[in-house]
């Protein structure tokens, strides 16, 4: 029986955390302002009153400290959800995430799993300037030992919390800050798509646009514009950046023979570069044109709105790149 309801991305994440805490007393949430303030993005509103300060833990402004606490708790049987206010601040916990959480299973000879979930806001577009706006999920996708999830839809925003909590290893969930107010359908009776599985959001025959997070919706908007001009673009939501779903990526390339990747990270050393490399390795002779990508300009994210919009991917930039690719093939 369907249990579909209209809700927001924010409420979908909050519901997933609430349901997980009801079901499993080992689950707790910790981070800056998650308790009395209700979360910097209002995801945890009301949970402190429901579960108390031992399970909804307001932490000091010390990402390295509370992330390390989460690692220790995970190693000792708890199921922590660590909320880092913004991806830029996660760099203060980089040693804990990269040198400890991701490596402990290997370095202990398989004795210690670290079932840690880290959630953080990512992305630009809200005029929060360079200290709060970058998209560094591609950096984390470079690290073996962790999984990197990028939920775009309301359904994934909910389901990926549960998938991450069920995983025996560290999982980082990147929630684009512009998505929290997005509305969509949440059906809790559906079986979640597994970690590492991409999803074809729009069928097409002329080219494939690969995207994730907020850029899924920019890609879909661009695809609608292209369709009016006779170009049918397939849009694939990557959903997971580590592991990547090579099977779905290659299958779409074999279908459309043209590739455009939308990535809010910087171009150099980006996840888009990794995807292009994999396509070259596995499906080069299926391509009818050089692969294109739309990335963020290689500058710190500007504060003024017109400059911020000029720096990040937009539907217009996606349409322009798609047309150029079609002209060259």
Q: Is 63 annotated in the active site?
A: yes
Q: Which of 63, 201, 234, 274 does the annotation list as catalytic?
A: 63
Q: Are 16 and 44 in contact (CB under 8 A)?
A: no
DSSP 113: -
Q: How many angstroms separate the CA atoms of 234 and 322, rounded?
A: 12
For 123-164, give the DSSP string. Answer: ---SS--TTS----HHHHTT-TT-EEE---SHHHHHHHHHHH
Q: How many angstroms separate the CA atoms of 208 and 200, rounded?
A: 10
Beta bridge partners of 148: 172, 242
Tokens of residue 135, six digits: 């998209």
Tokens of residue 54, six digits: 């031992």
Q: Which of 32, 132, 134, 234 does the annotation list as catalytic?
A: 132
Closest among 179, 182, 183, 177 to 124, alpha carbons compared = 177
Q: How many residues does the chain have?
A: 329
Q: Identify the H or E element spanning 174.
A: strand 171-176
HSE value, Cβ hemisphere, 13 Å, CA-based, for 102: 20
Closest among 233, 159, 240, 227 to 201, alpha carbons compared = 233
Long-range contacts of 20-26 (CB under 8 A, 24+ apart): 20/79, 20/81, 20/161, 20/162, 20/165, 21/47, 21/50, 21/51, 21/55, 24/79, 24/165, 26/77, 26/78, 26/79
Q: Is 132 annotated in the active site?
A: yes
State the catalytic residues: 63, 132
């Amino acid at each position: 029986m369907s249990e579909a309801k209209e809700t927001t991305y924010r409420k979908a994440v909050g519901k997933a955390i609430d349901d997980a805490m009801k079901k499993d007393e080992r689950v707790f949430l910790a981070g800056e302002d998650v308790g009395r303030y209700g979360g910097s993005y209002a995801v945890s509103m009301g949970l402190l009153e429901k579960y108390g300060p031992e399970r909804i833990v307001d932490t000091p402004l010390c990402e390295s400290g509370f992330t390390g606490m989460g690692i220790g708790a995970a190693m000792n049987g708890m199921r922590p959800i660590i909320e880092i206010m913004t991806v830029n601040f996660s760099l203060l916990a980089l040693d804990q995430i990269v040198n400890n959480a991701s490596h402990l299973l290997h370095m202990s000879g398989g004795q210690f799993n670290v079932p840690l979930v880290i959630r953080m806001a990512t992305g630009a577009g809200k005029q929060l300037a360079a200290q709060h706006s970058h998209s560094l999920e591609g950096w984390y996708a470079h690290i073996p030992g962790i999984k990197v999830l990028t939920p775009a839809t309301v359904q994934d925003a909910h389901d990926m919390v549960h998938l991450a909590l069920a995983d025996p290893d560290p999982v980082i969930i990147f929630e684009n800050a512009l998505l929290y107010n997005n509305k969509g359908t949440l059906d809790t009776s559906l079986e979640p798509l597994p970690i590492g599985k991409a999803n074809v959001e729009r069928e097409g025959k002329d080219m494939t646009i690969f995207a994730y997070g907020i850029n899924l919706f920019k890609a879909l908007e661009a695809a609608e514009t292209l369709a009016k001009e006779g170009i049918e673009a397939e849009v694939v939501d990557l959903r997971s950046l580590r592991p990547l779903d090579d099977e779905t990526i290659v299958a779409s390339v074999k279908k459309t023979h043209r590739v455009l990747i939308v990535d809010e990270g910087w171009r150099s050393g980006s996840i888009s570069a990794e995807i292009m490399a994999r396509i070259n390795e596995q499906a080069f002779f299926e391509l009818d044109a050089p692969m294109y990508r739309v990335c963020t300009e290689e500058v710190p994210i500007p504060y003024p709105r017109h400059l911020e919009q000029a720096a990040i991917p937009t539907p217009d930039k996606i349409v322009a790149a798609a047309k150029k690719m079609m002209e060259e093939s």
